[in-house]
Structure 1
């Protein structure tokens, strides 16, 4: 059985909710990623911040990324999977919520992220096509 731990990109990092978006952008650049899970003061997942969120939700709205926090951008209920979840659970979570990145948790700690690139390297063509259709199709 293929699990989330098998397909994830290990070593994901949190951005604390109190950190500013300019710091988040710097961390994204350092890590060469387009998304960071947002953690509360107890290191619990409270959202995901993407590079697009920073541009569209902050800069394009005329807000200052040095004064806007990651927590200000956290919206909705964050989705995640346990490291031992099988690939069907991973796909179900991503397809059901039309999300492109999924944090992987083990023992209540962030251990990795699953992105499109991770899926592409581990799924059959049929599975990948079904994922693309459900996530990218217009609602």
Structure 2
């Protein structure tokens, strides 16, 4: 049985909610990722920040990314999956919430990885990928 830990990209890194968006963009470049989980002061997941969020939610509206904070763009209820969850649970979570990236946590609630569409593509069958794409990208 394939688990979330088997398909995740290990070594994901948080960005504190108080960190500036320019620092978030630098960290994304250093890590070669397009998204970072946002952690509150208690190191709990409070959102996901994407490169697109920075552009659309900050730069495009004339805000200064050296003054705007990652937590300012954290919206909605954060989603995550336990590392020992079955891949069917991963797919269900991503499909139900129409999300493309899913943080993976261990039993101590620590971030241990991230699952993206690319991770799914490397580990799932063509039929599973087709179903995922249909559900996540279908118009509501």
Coarse TM-score class (shorter-chain normalised) = over 0.9
Distance 2:90 2:60 in 1: 33
Partner secondary structure for residue 49 of structure 1 = strand
* Runs of 4+ that moved beyond 4 A: none
CA-CA distance at 1:37 after TM superposition = 0.1
Partner in structure 1 of residue 59 of structure 2: 59
**What's the TM-score, normalizing by structure 2?**
0.98
Gapped runs of 5+ residues in structure 2? none
Structure 2 distance, partners of 1:31, 1:138, is: 32
Give, in angstroms, the shift of residue 136 of structure 1: 1.2
User: Tell me, which stretches of 5 or more residues in structure 1 are unaligned?
Assistant: none
TM-score after normalising by structure 1? 0.99
Does residue 45 of structure 2 align to residue 45 of structure 1? yes
> Superposed, which structure 2 residues align to 1:16-95 within 5 Å?
16-95=16-95
SS at match of 2:54: helix
Structure-1 residue corresponding to 2:137: 136
Q: Deviations over 1:78-137 (max 9, x none)?
A: 000000000010000000000000000002100000001100001111110000011111
The number of residues matched between the two structures is: 139
Distance 2:66 2:76 in 1: 23
RMSD: 0.5
Measured in 2, the distance between the counterparts of 1:136 and 1:59 equals: 26
C-alpha displacement at 1:138, in angstroms?
Answer: 1.7
SS, match of residue 121 in structure 1: helix
